[in-house]
Structure 1
């Protein structure tokens, strides 16, 4: 198993462990099944979600003496179960609150863009890795730092960008670490959004990840047609005078901050590193009529 697959396997096991119907006598043997894979990926400098951290805390090499009773005392195990259930629910609730908090500045950011530009070109690309070449989170972080520097410096394909936002995730099923990226160009100066989406994906795949990455170009013509048929097209050329396309664009942008999928979160990261971010607002406090 690769690193994200191992993390998901640990999480799924611990979800089973905290169920009230779980046979507590099975915990030692159940935990041992993933022990070798878990030891290969554990890093004390990283921050893990509660279920996964709880698993690591019970490894023979890491367990505290006070926790050893979990394996031999039913009352101690039930107390462990109850505490971990509460911690996991609190973690999910905090994640949801963070997403809701992120939406307000992102909404204001895009509203300002619409006020200052009669046309915007929105390019959405999902950056990922095929499972057979999926690296660990450290390499994912390195790749993201290279990408974000290219975007910030307006290098090559990003030369004309006037704004961007991104969110980092790990899928709750088979998907590993990935990035939902939105790059915005001045629609009065730029078109061919499918080209931009493809080139951003190609940069990620060929240059940044050296061939081990993959991507999904939301702006590809066939994908846009599917959104158009549903009446939800909110990427590509967005004209301020077209209220429906602007509304749809807001829904697209909202997803970056507020995914409705509760299992879309990183199981491992670092405390002081962002999982969601956007460019600073260059129009804050500026009257669009005077700009």
Structure 2
């Protein structure tokens, strides 16, 4: 037993070392190159998050008892990429020149590469939920756009007079661009941005390394994916505690439950939905000894979650029913030699881990949100 465990430990160390050596060689390339040529654009990630969350409703400023739809999650992609373009360029939003040949020497606005994002500036007036944690770039946009000098402007016509005396709206837009650039250049901002990106990359690398280890020990794996919901509580802190308690019970009780006898490993992600509150996204990897179907196992795990673990107050959903491309994929048997299915699995990991650097819901102090088990059925 000790010898087999020693061999397994050696294999894990070897695989992990080899994987990170490959990642190190790719350092400096674009995100899609650094992560197995996954080629998932930021726009695509936001699009799938929109399918996952749907429209979000928030209290209106005039009447807190009424709600209005917050703009779609996918539209945040526009804001994120707008700020990205502003920071990555040195040109103004508009080139403004005084045309001396015309009457009164009126101002003339000439378009630049940033002029395309002019109307995006109006989105800053939107209200967003308190538990809404956008990317550092989106957060910076809201922070600047809600300043007094920008909040009341109508970013519709660049030549319209500004609410500020003696200026046109295009000049106000240029000032907003410059303020965003100055704030983005600070050390504090860069550190916050890097911290969030590093956390996502760390989780992605952990998931890929982990499943690589599992496929070293198993020729085939049966992948089961489901969302497990918690009983609704008004207190967010109590809901987080409840989530951790349920996860701990699941981990402690697994050794005595035949339902998990053939589990080779699993991944979990603590998520938040504005309708359901906190919930877990689980990915279970059953060994090739398992003769159950993914549908049957999903139902059995879901029932186990609902009845013993949440005392009938929780719920579950088979991810095959999801319209989100990265939640409904890679369910069922995946062969070690099937490079297409394994790459789809990596895409699913990429989405689950990388989306947090662009948008995250729930309390900022929810603690650890991503985890994995061991590499054998007896230790996960």
Give the shorter-chain TM-score range: 0.5 to 0.7
Contact 1:168 1:266 in 2 (8 A): no
1:250 aligned counterpart, secondary structure: helix
Matched, 1:145 2:248: yes
State how far apart, in whole Å, the 2-side matches of 1:90 and 1:175 are. 32
Contact 1:119 1:188 in 2 (8 A): no
1:259 aligned counterpart, secondary structure: helix
**Displacement, 1:164?**
0.8
**Displacement, 1:12?**
5.9
Q: Which residue of structure 2 aligns with residue 117 of structure 1?
A: 218
**Displacement, 1:208?**
0.9
**Displacement, 1:196?**
0.9
Q: Which residue of structure 2 aligns with residue 21 of structure 1?
A: 146
Matched, 1:10 2:111: no
**Displacement, 1:207?**
1.6
Give a deviation string over 1:42-86, Cα, whole Å, max 9, x none: xxxxxxxxxxxxxxxxxxxxxxxxxxxxxxxxxxxxxxxx8xx99
State how far apart, in whole Å, the 1-side matches of 2:258 and 2:203 are. 29
Task: Extract structure 1 runs of 4+ deviating beyond 6 A.
Answer: 85-89
Q: Which residue of structure 1 aligns with residue 371 of structure 2?
A: 277
Q: Report 1:199-238 matches (<5 A).
A: 199-219=300-320, 233-238=329-334
CA 1:125 to 1:91, structure 2 compared with 1: closer, same or farther past 3 Å?
farther
RMSD of Structure 2 on Structure 1 (CA): 4.1
Q: Report 1:37-186 matches (<5 A).
A: 91=192, 93-129=194-230, 136-151=239-254, 153=255, 155-171=257-273, 173-186=274-287
**Displacement, 1:281?**
4.0
TM-score, reference length from structure 1: 0.58
State how far apart, in whole Å, the 1-side matches of 2:272 and 2:144 are. 23
Greater Rg, structure 1 or structure 2? 2
Contact 1:161 1:186 in 2 (8 A): yes
* Residue 267 (structure 1) aligned to one of 352, 363, 368: 363
State how far apart, in whole Å, the 1-side matches of 2:363 and 2:334 are. 35
State how far apart, in whole Å, the 2-side matches of 1:168 and 1:92 are. 21
Give a deviation string over 1:140-190, Cα, whole Å, max 9, x none: 222222123234x3623212111111111224x444211111111112433
CA 1:128 to 1:238, structure 2 compared with 1: closer, same or farther past 3 Å?
same
2:286 aligned counterpart, secondary structure: strand
State how far apart, in whole Å, the 1-side matches of 2:145 and 2:205 are. 38
TM-score, reference length from structure 2: 0.46
1:169 aligned counterpart, secondary structure: strand
Q: Which consecutive unaligned segments of at least 5 residues does structure 1 have? A: 25-81, 283-291
Q: Which consecutive unaligned segments of at least 5 residues does structure 2 have? A: 1-57, 60-127, 134-138, 150-182
* Residue 187 (structure 1) aligned to one of 263, 267, 288: 288
Q: Which has the higher contact order (CA 8 A, sep 6+)?
A: 1
Contact 1:205 1:214 in 2 (8 A): yes
Contact 1:204 1:214 in 2 (8 A): yes
